[in-house]
């Protein structure tokens, strides 16, 4: 646990800048540093976002360099090539692993003692790469994982049932990507099993409805990218939420990407499962109930990630 109210954002593209904008409004930090390969870009974003400080809380937002990570509580890494229309998150692997090979050792050199939050895609693989390259304890390297996917799922279910999405408890687990798994069997609305809640609200076609919602959630990033070329507001709010949980030591349960050891026969792969998250990062896994079919799909998701990891030279 580090007693600092400083965050560092590495990568000032759409995701990095939108995340800093969300963090500026959160009052979690007194200092936010922006680092980018293009120093001018970092300076411009820092200036622009700073001009909102009179409407938020006093803080310093400025462009910096790797020396600034030494005393940071959280370093967020959003640097990397973005997903292009028609590209999957896994297509980005080699480009972004190369970028991580230049970033992570720089952080490690500064004896960074805080939490590393990986947001760049493919997030599960890059989280594992970050653990390996940084030498940090596994609990202190977290990927944004399926926090956003789970939010999209809750949003869709809230819409479907006409209830507040904050009362919907449902997780997407596995890869943040095409092999993600909706944990339907543990989904509920304030403790009421989902199928029961659906019937209360006049929905009886469970199979069709769940398939439709799962597909909409899985494809939403592709749809947004096709329409506006990038997704950044949803992930920015996810970054803000993860930072809140860490900075306030909330011990909230989030489906973040982290190293899994022995859950559902999965070992040595970073992917998303609900975990208790606090000031020290991952405190413990939450073993959610999955049906046999869901557990099988989760294992397949892990295996597909493992195959890719085995091709990466670190």
Main-chain dihedrals φ then ψ at residue 117, nearest 5 degrees: -115, 115
Query: Does residue 73 have a known ligand-binding role?
Result: no
Residues 253 and 169: beta-carbon distance below 8 Å: no
Q: Which residues contact 87 (CB under 8 A, 6 or more apart)?
A: none
Say whether 15 counts as a known binding-site residue: yes
| Alpha carbons 52 and 38: distance in angstroms, whole number | 23
Q: Is 150 annotated as a binding residue?
A: yes
Q: Would you say 120 is a known binding-site residue?
A: yes
Q: Is the CB of residue 96 less than 8 Å from the CB of residue 15?
A: no
89 is known to lie in a ligand binding site = yes
Cα–Cα distance for residue pair 60/50, rounded to 1 Å: 8
d(CA 260, CA 221): 25
Contacts 24+ apart (CB under 8 A), 230-236: 230/14, 230/15, 230/82, 230/83, 232/14, 232/15, 232/17, 232/18, 232/19, 233/18, 234/148, 234/151, 234/152, 235/15, 235/18, 235/19, 235/119, 235/144, 235/148, 236/15, 236/18, 236/19, 236/21, 236/22
Question: Could you tell me how far CA 287 lies from the centroid of its own chain?
Answer: 19
The DSSP symbol for 92 reads: G
Consult the annotation and say whether 124 binds a ligand.
yes
On whether 215 is known to bind a ligand per the annotation, the reply is no
37 is in an annotated binding site: no
Report whether 166 belongs to an annotated binding site: no
Cα separation, 40 vs 191, whole angstroms = 50
Residue 211 marked in a binding site: no
Q: Which of 51, 160, 176, 229 is flagged as catalytic? A: 176
Q: Is 152 annotated as a binding residue?
A: yes
52 marked as part of a ligand binding site: no
Consult the annotation and say whether 144 binds a ligand.
Answer: yes
Whether 51 sits among the annotated catalytic residues: the reply is no
Say whether 149 counts as a known binding-site residue: yes
Looking at the annotation, which residues are catalytic? 176
- Binding-site positions for beta-D-fructose 1,6-bisphosphate read 154, 169
- Binding-site positions for NAD(+) read 15, 36, 41, 66, 80-81, 102, 119-121, 144
- Binding-site positions for substrate read 83, 89, 121-124, 149-152, 231
- Binding-site positions read 15, 36, 41, 66, 80-81, 83, 89, 102, 119-124, 144, 149-152, 154, 169, 231
């Amino acid at each position: 646990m580090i007693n600092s109210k400083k965050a560092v954002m590495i990568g000032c593209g759409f995701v990095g800048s939108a995340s800093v904008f969300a963090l500026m409004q959160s009052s979690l930090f007194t200092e936010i540093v922006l680092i980018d390969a293009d120093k001018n870009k970092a300076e411009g974003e820092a200036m622009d976002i700073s001009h909102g400080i009179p409407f938020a809380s006093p803080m310093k937002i400025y462009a910096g360099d790797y020396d600034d990570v030494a005393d940071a509580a959280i370093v967020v890494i959003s640097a990397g090539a973005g997903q292009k229309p028609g590209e999957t998150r896994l297509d980005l692997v080699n480009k972004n692993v190369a970028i991580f090979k230049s970033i992570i050792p720089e952080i490690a050199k500064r004896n960074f003692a805080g939490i590393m939050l990986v947001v760049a895609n493919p997030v599960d693989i890059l989280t594992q790469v970050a653990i390996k390259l940084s030498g940090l304890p596994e609990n202190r390297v977290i990927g944004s994982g399926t926090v956003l996917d789970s939010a999209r799922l809750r949003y869709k279910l809230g819409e479907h049932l006409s209830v507040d999405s904050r009362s919907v408890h449902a997780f997407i687990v596995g890869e943040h990507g095409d092999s993600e798994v909706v944990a339907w069997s543990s989904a509920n609305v304030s403790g009421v099993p989902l199928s029961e809640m659906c019937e209360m609200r006049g929905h009886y076609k469970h199979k069709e409805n769940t398939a439709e919602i799962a597909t909409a959630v899985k494809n939403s990033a592709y749809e947004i990218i096709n329409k506006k070329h990038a997704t950044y507001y949803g992930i920015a709010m996810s970054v803000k939420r993860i930072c809140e949980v860490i900075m306030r030591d909330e011990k909230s349960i989030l489906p973040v990407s982290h190293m899994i050891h022995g859950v559902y026969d999965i070992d040595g792969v970073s992917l998303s499962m609900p975990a208790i998250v606090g000031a020290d990062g991952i405190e413990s896994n939450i073993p959610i109930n999955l049906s046999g079919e869901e557990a099988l799909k989760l294992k397949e998701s892990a295996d597909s990630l493992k195959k890719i990891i085995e091709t990466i030279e670190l």
